[in-house]
Amino acid sequence: MEKELKVGLKHVSEKIVTENDTAAVFGSGDMYVFSTPMMVGLMENAAMKAVADYLEEGWQTVGIHLDVKHLAATPMGMQVRAEAELMEIKGRQLVFKVEAFDEREKIGEGTHRRFIVERVPFMAKTEAKEKK
């Protein structure tokens, strides 16, 4: 299943904060600042990409747990980045350290767990929910 997955794999995901990324538009608050859900999504993206090239074709990771603090607000127009580092491998469960930064300071930190799944059976099981 995995090709040399190893502790220490890293990835950085970046974006410029737009109005669509704000708490007011997302619905998680009423201010036009980078929303916590968007920060978490960027962290998940960094973790997913940190290991994506090390998985066999047909396999991918899905997020299963987050423990994240949002430490500081970021205005629209500022660049943000999320960094993920693989800290632990427990069979098919992967544990990442995640951090987020804007142009001035650290804005978030925590841990994120992902699970390695085979895409076709995973999607078949998920789509079966519609038929019940």
pLDDT at residue 1, as a whole number: 46
3 state SS for 36-78: HHHHHHHHHHHHHHHHHCCECCCEEEEEEEEEEEECCCCECCC
10-131 is classed CATH 3.10.129.10:
yes
Q: What is the pLDDT of residues 10-27, one digit of tens each?
A: 999 999 999 999 999 999
Show me where the domains of the chain are located.
10-131
Global confidence as pTM: 0.94
The whole-number pLDDT of residue 112 equals 98
Residue 88 has what pLDDT? 98
User: Using 50, 70 and 90 to split pLDDT, how confident is the model at 3?
Assistant: confident
Please, what is the average pLDDT of the chain?
A: 96
**Residues labelled catalytic:** 36, 44, 70
* Distance of alpha carbon 112 from alpha carbon 80, whole angstroms: 18
Sheet holding 59-70, edge to edge: 10-16, 79-90, 93-101, 106-118, 59-70
